[in-house]
Amino acid sequence: MSHSIRTALLVVLLATTCAPAAAQEKFPSRPLEVIVPTPPGGGTDIAIRLLAELAEPALGQKIVIVNKTGGGGLIGMAQVVQAKPDGHTLGGLWNAPLTMTPHMQPAPYKPTDYVAISLADSAPTVFCVKKEFPANDGKEFIEHLKKNPGKFTYGNDGVGGTIHLSAERIFSKLGVKTRPVPFGGAGETLKNYLGGHVDIYGGSITPILPYIKDGSNKCLMVTSSEKLVSMPQAASLSELGVPDTGTALWHGIVGPKGIPAERVAILEKAFREAARSDKFRQYMEPRGIKVEAASGADFRKLIDSEYAAMGDLMKSIGLTK
């Protein structure tokens, strides 16, 4: 009698101690949710959906994309931070809600409230002009802008947006004064640029590419320290002497802080492999987007340095809250 009770107790004890261990081994145990704080169909949404689809086999679970829009991405990101840190709820984001918007608007989270899991890809911004523009390389472009302070206008993705800030970061360092005209996105910028309403196109590479191919326009500057293979005419920031002012539009995966380290490692491995896959590369590279597949640690460094740089920049141009 007492023996059987003792055995039963032992079984219960074993069961309770073993259960968490077993659960830990089996991660993820249910479908994952990746919150994307933009409407479906945008660049971020497409990149994260593709990445998630490619990470599914390694994780052995479905990944559901949830689009939560509003507040310039702050609402969706707030939800990521508040989620249970068991690794089943993650966020798929671009720069602004992490490093830019929090300086302008009251964000309900700090950079320490989330863990960086992996950086998937990054794409620099290009600055392009009509073929009649009196400059043929980056140096001439900057000199011409300097000679005519406040004369030229450039279209961008909206005030405090990635393109606006990446431009101001370089221009303020080089002492160039132009007038930024905020538009709703690359499409609107392109329309107003092609129609001759603004002088300079500032934006991602894909929309302007057809107009570069037909020779009617030329891109003279790219916001990265290295040159673009597809646009040899565009000067890199190293060539312009300001290699440390580059800001790229990037996409990556983050999660709420407190996810157990071994789970972060599983997620990091799966998402890095997905970004390294041929399918991801084949989608990104023709669009002038660089596949990063960077580690969580490198992603963290990028976020922290960009967060600090953007804070200083936005203070200097009067955009902070």
Partner 1 sequence: MTTFDYLMGGFAVATRPDNLLFCFIGCLWGTIVGVLPGLGPLAGLTLLLPLTYKLEPASAVIMLSGIFYGAMYGGSTTSILLRIPGEAASIMTCIDGHAMARQGRAGPALVVAGVGSFIGGTMSVVGLTLFAPPLAQLMLKVGPAAEFALMALALLVMGFVSSGPVLKTIAMVVLGLLIATIGLDPLTGFPRFTFGRIEISEGLSFVAMALGLFGVSEILLNMEDVLSVKPIRPTLASLIPRAADMRASAPAIARGTLIGFVFGFVPGISHVVSTFASYAVERKLSRHPEEFGHGAIAGVAGPETANNATTGSAMIPLLVLGIPAIPATAILLSALMIHGVNPGPQLVSEHPQVFWGLIASMYIGNLMLLALNLPLVGLFVNLLRIPYAWLAPSVLLICIVGIYSVNANAAEIGIMAAFGLIGYMLRKLQFDCAPLLLAVVIGDRMEVALRRALIISDGNWAALAQDAFSRIFLGAIVVLVALQCIAWRLGVRRKDLVELKSTSEENPT
Instruction: Calculate the alpha carbon distances from 55 to 25, 39, 254, 271, 319 in Å.
Output: 19, 22, 14, 6, 38
> Which tokens in the block code for residue 3?
């023996």
Biggest CA–CA distance in the chain, Å, is: 98
95-114 residues in contact with partner 1 (CB under 8 A) are 104-108
Measure the CA–CA gap between 121 and 285, rounded to whole angstroms: 10
By CB under 8 A, tell whether 159 contacts partner 1.
yes
Stretch that binds partner 1, among 74-82, 122-130, 166-174, 301-309 (CB under 8 A): 74-82
Measure the CA–CA gap between 303 and 319, rounded to whole angstroms: 19
Question: Of 214, 229, 261, 278, which one interacts with partner 1 (CB under 8 A)?
Answer: 214
CB of 196 to partner 1, least distance (A): 8
**# residues contacting partner 1 (CB under 8 A):** 56
Q: What is the DSSP letter of 88?
A: S
Question: Of 7, 15, 24, 39, which one interacts with partner 1 (CB under 8 A)?
Answer: 39
Question: In the stretch 175-194, what mask flags binding to partner 1 with x, by CB under 8 A?
Answer: ----xxxxxxx-xx-xxx-x
Complex with partner 1: residue 31 or 39, whichever CB lies closer: 39
CB-count burial class (<10 Å; 0-12, 13-18, 19+) for 117 = buried
Stretch that binds partner 1, among 44-52, 82-90, 271-279, 299-307 (CB under 8 A): 44-52
246-305 residues in contact with partner 1 (CB under 8 A) are 283, 286
Whole-number CA gyration radius for the chain: 23
With contact defined as beta carbons under 8 Å apart, do 129 and 141 qualify? yes
- Comparing CA positions, the residue from 125, 133, 126 lying closest to residue 219 is 126
Interface contacts to partner 1, rule CB under 8 A = 39-42, 45-46, 49, 65-72, 74-75, 78, 104-108, 150, 153, 158-160, 179-185, 187-188, 190-192, 194-198, 206-207, 209-211, 213-214, 283, 286, 318-319
